[in-house]
Amino acid sequence: MTSAHLPAEIQRRRIFGIISHPDAGKTTLTEKLLLHGGAIREAGTVKARRSAKFATSDWMEIEKQRGISVTSSVMQFNYQGKVISIMDTPGHNDFGEDTYRILTSVDSAVMVIDGAKGVEDQTRKLFAACRLRGIPIFTFINKLDRETKDPLELLSELEEVLGMPAAAVSWPIGSGLNFQGVYDILTHRLHLYKEARSLDLSRLGPDDPELESVLTGYNLKTFREEMQLLKGAGNPLDKAQVLAGDLTPVFFGSALVDFGVTEFLHHFLEMSPAPQPRNTSKGPVHPEDPNFSGYIFKIQANMNPAHRDRLAFLRVCSGTFERGMTATLSRTGKPVKLTQSIQLMANERNQADVAVAGDVIGIYDTGTYQIGDTLTTAPDPFLLDPLPTFPPELFALVQPKDTMKAKQFHKGVKQLAQEGAIQVYHNIYNEVILGAVGQLQFEVFQYRLENEYNAPLRMTPLDYTLARWIPKEQEDQLKACLDSRSMLVFDRFERPLILFANLFTLRYFQERFPFAKLMESLELTEDTL
């Protein structure tokens, strides 16, 4: 690809993450978007029956068994001249860290809300993560084919709970058994649910007399009243505010029955941003910069169980990636040849020869890469902003059940640790200790170790709830200060941490040893590795 074509290709890219509370319909919406984009022929479901098709993004066996997403997925397709990359994220709080990392790789987010439940806890947390990055947030209120809260109430809840103004782009006519359609406020078209047609209301809008023969009396009266309220008190749609992350456009529909999805996709592509500049250790890097750069935000082992391979997910931030090129791994300063690269569709793969800023590709990893690594062809290599790390709250000692399978056990532990979904430590006796945000992470880890590595294990919970990093130079001094309510461990980079039983134990430790430098989070930078 020539440099003259690069800006136009970048402007075609759209990369966004889909976030929600569990069971709000996030993965179902993803499937419908893929269907519209021609990426799949048949939409699956998260909770598919034995004979049915599972969701494309839920490719792991445990996801199919449990009916939940436990890992993020990347899916790319072409639609109406745009190259769209969707990041489907785990909704479950136990896998929040994977989701937060995904959100560092996208330029916008789609927030899916269950119309019957409104804004839920996990939605609130993920929204806050998006808000911190200042990325545009689009809201899709789902499940209108079921009974939902009043739409005005939902808009008010969005603004009150999330603290962001909301502007309705579409509007529902009834819900559940009384659901009759969705009105597109921008195009003045009413899309009828059961009749599979639309009406052009551009001349008279909601006052069009034709509606009297189409809508029930109650729905028509309510619709006209709500439109008047929105006209007088609703927020106007301001694209500049949307792009600044200060206003969320709101859409209504039902992903399950594929209603309102097409209209949402069209408006989203009109309003969402192309790839944006990224902060680095040497200033911002712009997508149009001719030097290639990208960073690894996820590593996934065993996407192909037959080959036991590992893929590093790389977001291209600037320039053009070409298969076979040599780039510098900024963390080490060493050159790496990028010979094996693929385009991603969940666990399916096709060779990727060329990629530009705004694309996500997979590169095969033999243990070279770490989450947060920067690759670049710039003459003066730089580090892109580090990815966030989160201290775990649950800990467990794990050991192989069969000492004859210790090799598989340690290999599996190492590879799954490198994915970043669970933290792996070792104590002074070199015993393996896991750290997790939620119990489900332990269960998934055990399932994968036993099924992907044939390494059954024993897991013993430990009575610790907090972890804090300490400087390497204080290790010996603080080791002598520990008691039965605290433990010294080391992460996979051999950086020392202290595990504490609870917050009281932590505060008591700080009072007794005020010189101790305890760090809640640690970025993967040159200084900390």
- With cut-offs at 50, 70 and 90, classify the pLDDT of residue 526: very low
Q: How far apart are CA 188 and CA 250, in angstroms?
A: 16
Rounded Cα gap, residues 101 and 99, in angstroms: 5
- pLDDT grade, residue 52 (50/70/90)? very low
Strands 348-351 and 341-345: antiparallel
Q: Which domains does the chain have, with CATH numbers?
A: 6-271 (3.40.50.300), 293-376 (2.40.30.10), 394-512 (3.30.70.3280)
- The C-alpha angle with vertex 103 and arms to 395 and 453, in degrees rounded to 5, equals 45
Distance from C-alpha of 313 to C-alpha of 151, rounded to nearest angstrom: 39
State the Rg of the chain over Cα.
25
Tell me how far apart the 2 most distant CA atoms of the chain are, in Å: 83
β-sheet bridge partners, residue 137? 109
The answer to whether the pTM exceeds 0.85 is no
Q: What is the pLDDT of residue 488?
A: 96
pLDDT in tens, 430-441: 999 998 877 777
348-385 pLDDT per residue, tens: 567 788 999 999 998 988 878 888 899 999 999 998 88
Dihedral sign computed on CA atoms, order 357, 359, 363, 367: positive
Mean pLDDT along residues 37-65: 46
- H/E/C letters for each residue in 394-452? EEEEEEECCHHHHHHHHHHHHHHHHCCCCEEEECCCCCEEEEECCHHHHHHHHHHHHHH
Contacts of 146 (CB under 8 A, 6+ apart): 115, 116, 175, 176, 254
**Using an 8 Å Cβ cutoff, are 64 and 42 in contact?**
no
Closest CA to 441 of 180, 66, 132: 66
Instruction: Round to whole Å and give the CA distance between 305 and 316.
Output: 27
* pLDDT score of 529 more than 70: no
Query: Mean of the pLDDT values across residues 237-244?
Result: 95
Is the pLDDT at 418 greater than 90? The verdict is no
Give the number of other Cβ atoms within 10 Å of residue 149's Cβ.
17
Q: What is the pLDDT of residue 372?
A: 85
